[in-house]
Amino acid sequence: MLTIEKYGAIDIGSNAVRLLICSVHEEKGKSTRFKKTSLVRVPIRLGADVFKTKKVSPENITRMIDAMQAYQLLIKTHNVVRYKACATSAMREAENGEELVNLIKEKTGIQIDIIDGKDEAAIIAMTDLHELVNTDATYLYVDVGGGSTEFTLYHNGNTIASRSFKLGTVRLLNDLVSDEIWKDVEFWIKEKTKNYNRIALIGSGGNINNIFKNSGKNNGKSLSFLYLSSYYKLLKSLTYEERIWQLNLNQDRADVILPAVRIYLSAMKWSNAREIFVPKIGLSDGIIKSLYNEKLNNS
C-alpha cells in the first residue's frame, strides 16, 4: 500500500533562505521515493551583515521573521508532517544569532538549529549520491555557499575525507577571504586527492545549478572544465547589469555567480578533475533525508 507524507526543510544560508517541501512516497518492498513539491527562496543575504559587523542587522532581523512566518504558513497549508530548520555560516558567526533564533521561535514556533561546518557536510552527505553518479569512481563533492564551502571526497561510494572552509561567495564579494584560506583549501584538496586518478567533481549550490540549467545539457551529463572556464571568462567580461540583462540572472545571483565559479574551477584545477556533475542536491535535500532516517530509527 502506498503512503505519502510531506516533509519540509528550511536552509538558512549566508546568501538566501530556502524552504524545500518534499513528498515522501513509501510502498512495501520498493525503494522510497522523494519528490520535490515546492521550493521557495528568499535572498536575505545574512552574510553581508554578519561577515562585516558580526551581527544580523535590524532590517534583516525583520526580514527573517517575515520569511519564517511565511514559511510557517506554507508548512501548515502543505500539511507537512515533519520539518527541520538549519542555519549555517552566517548565523554561526552572528553575535546575535541565538537571540534571533529565540525571537523566531517566539514569533513563529519554528526552532532553528545552528549547525557547524562538520554537521553541514554530514547532512549534505546523507543525499543518496549513489542514485545520481557511478559509485565505482572517485568524486570531490563541492557545495558552495555564501559563507562556507564544504568539500567531501568519495571513493567507490565511501566517504574518504570531508572539510568545511570559510570560503564563500558573499565573503569573496566583500573581500573577506585571505590568501591563507585559499592556500589551505589548495593544500587540502591536493593532499586528499593525490592518490586517486580520474577524479570528477560533483557541484551543488544555486550558482552551479543555474549554469547547468542554462547549458542545455540533459540531467546526468557533466560540464567540462573548458566549458566552465569559458563561462567564467564570459561572466568576467560583463558588468553586473549586463549579467542580469544578457544572461537573465536574478539580481542576487548576478554578483555571487562569479566567485562561485572561481571556487569550482579552483577545485577542479587542484584535483585534476576535467568534468563536473550537477545533480541539483544540497543541504535542504540532506535535511529531508535526515528526517526520514529519524523516522525509520524511531519506528
What's the confidence (pLDDT) of residue 191?
A: 98
Residues 80, 39 share a domain: yes
What's the confidence (pLDDT) of residue 220?
A: 86
Residues 152, 47 share a domain: no
User: Is 265 a residue whose pLDDT tops 70?
Assistant: yes
Distance CA 202, CA 153 (A): 10
Distance CA 87, CA 113 (A): 6
Band (pLDDT 50/70/90 cuts) for residue 219 is: confident
User: Is 130 a residue whose pLDDT tops 80?
Assistant: no
Does 123 map to a domain? no
Does 94 map to a domain? yes
Residues 165, 272 share a domain: yes
Does 92 map to a domain? yes
CATH number of the domain within which 107 lies: 3.30.420.40
> For the residues 143-148, what does the mean pLDDT come to?
94
Residues 28, 168 share a domain: no
The 3-state secondary structure of 125-188, one letter per residue: HCCCHHHCCCCCCEEEEEEECCCCEEEEEEECCEEEEEEEECCCHHHHHCCCCCHHHHHHHHHH
CA-based torsion, 285, 185, 172, 279: positive or negative: negative
Determine contact, residues 8/81, Cβ cutoff 8 Å: no
Q: Which of 62-76, 115-129, 170-184, 279-293 has the lowest mean pLDDT?
A: 115-129
Residues 192, 98 share a domain: no
Band (pLDDT 50/70/90 cuts) for residue 259 is: very high
Residues 132, 270 share a domain: yes
Q: What is the pLDDT of residues 227-243, one digit of tens each?
A: 999 999 999 999 999 99
Residues 248, 180 share a domain: yes
Q: What is the pLDDT of residues 66-82, one digit of tens each?
A: 999 999 999 999 999 99
User: Is 127 a residue whose pLDDT tops 80?
Assistant: no
User: Is 120 a residue whose pLDDT tops 90?
Assistant: no
Band (pLDDT 50/70/90 cuts) for residue 119 is: confident
Residues 264, 143 share a domain: yes
User: Is 133 a residue whose pLDDT tops 90?
Assistant: no
pTM recorded for the entire structure: 0.91
Distances (CA, A) of 170 to 147, 175, 254, 266, 283: 6, 9, 12, 17, 18
User: Average model confidence (pLDDT) for the chain?
Assistant: 93
Residues 293, 243 share a domain: no
User: Is 126 a residue whose pLDDT tops 90?
Assistant: no
CATH number of the domain within which 213 lies: 3.30.420.150
Enter the C-alpha cell of residue 117.
Answer: 561546518
Q: What is the pLDDT of residues 6-19, one digit of tens each?
A: 999 999 999 999 99
Residues 14, 96 share a domain: yes
Q: CA 45: distance to chain centroid?
A: 14
The residue range of the domain holding 12 is 3-117+286-298
Q: Which of 14-23, 142-151, 153-162, 220-229 has the lowest mean pLDDT?
A: 153-162
3-class secondary structure, 280:
coil
> For the residues 158-184, what does the mean pLDDT come to?
94
Sheet holding 149-155, edge to edge: 158-165, 149-155, 138-144, 199-204, 275-277, 222-224
Does 122 map to a domain? no
User: Is 129 a residue whose pLDDT tops 90?
Assistant: no
Residues 166, 64 share a domain: no
> What percentage of the chain has pLDDT greater than the value 90?
83
Number of domains in the chain: 2
Q: Which of 16-30, 48-62, 119-133, 162-176 has the lowest mean pLDDT?
A: 119-133
Of 202, 194, 210, 192, the closest CA to residue 252 belongs to 210
Does 294 map to a domain? yes
Residues 140, 64 share a domain: no
What's the confidence (pLDDT) of residue 135?
A: 64
